[in-house]
Every structure is written in structure tokens, then in C-alpha cells.
Structure 1
Amino acid sequence: MDRARISSLAHADHPVAAPLGDDSVRALLDRASPDGPGRVLDLGCGTGVWLTRALADRPGLRADGVDHDPGSVAAATRAADAAGLGDRVAFHTGDASAARFPYRHDLVLCVGATHAFGGLLPTLRAAREHLAPGGAVLVGDGFWERPPGRATLDAGFAADEYDDLATTVDRVVAEGWLPVHGHVSTLREWDDYEWSWTGALTRWALDRPEHPDHDEVLRAATGHRDAWLHGYRGTLGFVTLLLRRAPEPRDPT
């Protein structure tokens, strides 16, 4: 079973592919979404949850979503159609880093999908290519709550994979962005996300003992749970930043 299918099964109980609760998602969208008409783009949209939630309460918005997984794009399209939003959102299958549009977007989202671009800063550079003047980026990525110990590194992380929160924000600012809001996921949000992730896979496997993928799915759930509980719980953090471009320096002459 490929990684995309594992991820799809794992997010059955927690459709937002990041450690964020419903209230946090709602608050971030309220802060980030354009007032009145506007365009929103989600790079690495998965099943389109961020976009359908953004559009549901904002009739002036139109949106695009891009994801490499055809199954996720198909699911996103079905969900938008079922919610009566199909005429305002288009989902595209392809490499998010290569996406191109004939118009700019007022808000660009990439929450929990920065790996598609090679990290946080490359994600911001890609997002800038799609951003309308005065627009904003909502990006979510990991950081070290505390220096990673051997258990975290043995769980599959590299010590230089992330920075602490202050350094992460400093690097973003050095790239010409200014934070206008941010949310650091709580331990409760993390735990709910991880229990949902591993639990959905475990339930799927237990309900299908004769399925040819039973053992693989159960191993994925067990491996992920062990890496979380014995490795990165309380060490890996997640921050979602609402950013706008800093003004260009004025010419003193």
C-alpha cells in the first residue's frame, strides 16, 4: 500500500493533516481569509478540508487546490460538490511546486505539506510566486520544542531538520516576511492528532483481518505510535504562521 493510501486511511478521524483542532482551524481561517471577494490557493491540499471550510462561510471567495495524489483530489472534488461549493473551487492533480495559474491569490495556504517543497523557506518562496499584492500566506510546519534527544533521532528525525521556535521565526523574517498572527499547537492538539492517526489505521486493520494489506497497515500504525510515544512527543512542535511581505526598504536618496 503506497504512502498516499496510508495517509488517507490515517486521516479518516482527523481530516486536517496537521495537529490542529477544529477551533484552531476556524480561528486561523477567520484571521487569514480575505474580506469580500478574493482567491485562495492551497498547495498540498489533500482532501480539500481547508478550502471547503474557508469557502463555506465566505460566499465571495473562489479557490484552487493542488495535490499530487489523484485519490485525494477526487475526494476533495466530491466533498466540495456535496457541500454545494463545486462552482467556486477547482482541484488540480499535480506537483504543487510546479503549479501555475493565470491569476494571483489573496491567500496561499500550505499547512503540514512543506515537505513537498523541501522545507519551510522553499515553501514560502513558492507561495510568493502565487501571491497577489498585499496578500497573505498561512503556513504550518514543525519546530523543536526542545533539543531532540537520541529517542527522537532514532524515530527518524535529523537534528538539523528543524530549529527552535524563535530561530524558525527569525529565519522567516530574514526572508522578507512579517508574522501578523501565529498558533502553536498544544500538546492536547498533538495527542488528539496522533491518537486519531494511529487509531484510524489500527481500526481499519482490525476490521479487515483477511485483507491483503492488513499486516502492512497495522505495522504502519504501530511504528508511528512507537515513534511518537517513545520518540518525539513533547519534543516536536508545530507552528502555523500568518505572514505578509515586509515592505521594501525605502531609497534614502
Structure 2
Amino acid sequence: MTALDLPRSFTIREGDLRILNPFDDAKLATLGRAIKLRPGASILDLCSGKGELLCTWARDHGVTGTGVDISTAFTAAARARAAELGVADRVRFVHGDAATHVPEQRVDLAACVGATWIGGGVPGTLEILERALRPGGMVLVGVPYWRRDPPDEETVTGCHARSRDEFRDLPGLVGLFGECGWDLVEMVLADQDSWDRYAAAHWLNLRRWLDANPGDELAGELRRELTEDPLRHVRYRRDHLGWGVFALLRR
């Protein structure tokens, strides 16, 4: 791990997953169709993970783009995926801090799917994305929301929220976009099955890694996670926490 990187546990947990959020292949493809991507459109994907959004949309829609991610392992995986899909001449992946990245040219679409921590929340992330956007361009932001009001602090903590106010419910989130001066023009939401696929894939990755690395310094920490997370998911996150990607145009 370099000075600018994610902890090793992230790489272990995500394993061979290509989409590092509660979307599946079908939902990612649906999103690409729904926002009516045009051939040659330019995209900046901040916190691009393993590059599945950029690589599959370059293949399916003929877009070009740049992905920026702090993880050296994820960036390497994204470059390999671009080569695998034959789109390495249309997309590139940069190891760096997405919060401070400045593109060489403004883009048609700026995305941050599942990492609004780079701006300290939705409003700050929208400001970061807008700096990269050409006039009339579109923003994509992926963010959690409360599907059901958490009844107690135990539920809030079980959903990995620092407080009840960290997330809004869906009407509150849509209202926040408006308060920030954006029109919501499309959305694709995760469902309980896609949450299950993402969460359960972590458990299998963790178990296989633990079986292969019983003496590793991370074994104790990741053993606790595997013991606790399935119950946390079915008791709290699955019913209370939603997640979606929202397409916005500046008013």
C-alpha cells in the first residue's frame, strides 16, 4: 500500500467483484440506457473503483472517459478491465485523490457513485462534480437513503451511519437535490436482492481469504467482521437502508 491508498481490508472484502456498490450488471446497464448516453460523450468518474461503469459504457455506448481512484489495486483492475473489453483507447484510469482531481477539460457527465464522503456529503460532492462539468452537462451521484425510519440508535449504527441525520429518506434526498439547485431527471435504485448480492459476496470473499490466510495480521479483524456482518445486514441494513444513483441537471 502506498501513502495514497485504501487499507488492505478493502481489497480483500471486494475480492473479484467488479461493481463496488449495491448495483448489479443489469442495473448499471439500465442506468447507462436511461440517461441516453451519446457516442463520444466524455465522462469523469470520481472514485471509479474497478472501472466497470466507464468500461462497459465505453463498450456499449461509445463514450470516452477518465476514472480517478485512491486505490492502487482497484486502479490496476480497472486498467485490466479496459484492456479485456477492448476499450483501453477510450478510457483511462488515474491513481489519485478524487476530491482534488482537476480534469484537463470539462466533461459531458461527471459521476461520483457511492463515495459522497469526498465532498463531506451530497452538497459538497455536487460542488466537486460541477467544477468538472461543461455547461448543460449531467451529474450522477450514488448515495444511501433511509428506506424506513430507523427506530433506534442500534439500527443507525447497524447501517454504518454516524447519526440518523447522515442520510435522508428518499423524498428528503430528492428535496435536497432541489435545494442545491439541481433537477432530478433520472434514477435507478438498488433493491433488496442487489443489496444481498453485494453484501453476501463480501462474506464469501472474507471466508475464502481467512481460510487461506489464518495467520495474517488482519485475520482477527476480518474474522469478527464475517461473524457480525451477516446478522447486521439482515437485521438492519436490508430493510432500512436504500441506495441509488441519481442523474441531475443544473437548474
Same-fold status (TM-score > 0.5): yes
Aligned runs of 1:92-103 on 2, under 5 Å? Answer: 92-103=94-105
Give every structure 1 segment of 4 or more consecutive aligned residues whose post-TM-superposition deviation is greater than 4 Å: none
User: What is the CA distance between 1:216 and its match in structure 2?
Assistant: 2.9
1:249 is matched with which residue? none
User: What is the CA distance between 1:109 and its match in structure 2?
Assistant: 1.5
Aligned runs of 1:182-221 on 2, under 5 Å? Answer: 182-221=187-226
Contact 1:21 1:189 in 2 (8 A): yes
User: What is the CA distance between 1:173 and its match in structure 2?
Assistant: 1.1
Aligned match for 2:34, one of 28, 31, 34:
31
Corresponding position: 1:177 with 2:203: no
Contact 2:140 2:247 in 1 (8 A): yes
Contact 1:67 1:73 in 2 (8 A): yes
Q: Percent identity?
A: 31
Deviations 1:26-77 (A, max 9, x none): 0101223531222111100111111111111233x21101111222212212
Structure 1: how far apart are the matches of 2:127 and 2:116? Answer: 11
Structure 1: how far apart are the matches of 2:36 and 2:10? Answer: 27
1:17 is matched with which residue? 20
1:112 is matched with which residue? 114
Corresponding position: 1:8 with 2:17: no
Instruction: Provide the TM-score with structure 2 as the length reference.
Output: 0.89
User: What is the CA distance between 1:178 and its match in structure 2?
Assistant: 0.8
Cα distance change, pair 96–105 in 1 and its aligned pair in 2 (3 A): same
Structure 1: how far apart are the matches of 2:202 and 2:247? Answer: 26
Structure 2: how far apart are the matches of 1:113 and 1:189? Answer: 18
Report the secondary structure of 1:160's partner residue: helix
Contact 2:9 2:218 in 1 (8 A): no
Q: CA RMSD in A?
A: 2.0
2:43 is matched with which residue? 40
Contact 1:32 1:136 in 2 (8 A): no
2:143 is matched with which residue? 141
User: What is the CA distance between 1:230 and its match in structure 2?
Assistant: 3.1
User: What is the CA distance between 1:127 and its match in structure 2?
Assistant: 0.5
1:251 is matched with which residue? none
Deviations 1:80-104 (A, max 9, x none): 1232222221211111110001211
Contact 1:181 1:243 in 2 (8 A): yes
> Which structure 1 segments of 5+ residues have no match?
247-253
Aligned match for 2:238, one of 233, 236, 250:
233
Aligned match for 1:222, one of 213, 218, 227:
227
Structure 2: how far apart are the matches of 1:13 and 1:194? Answer: 13
Report the secondary structure of 1:74's partner residue: helix
> Which structure 2 segments of 5+ residues have no match?
none
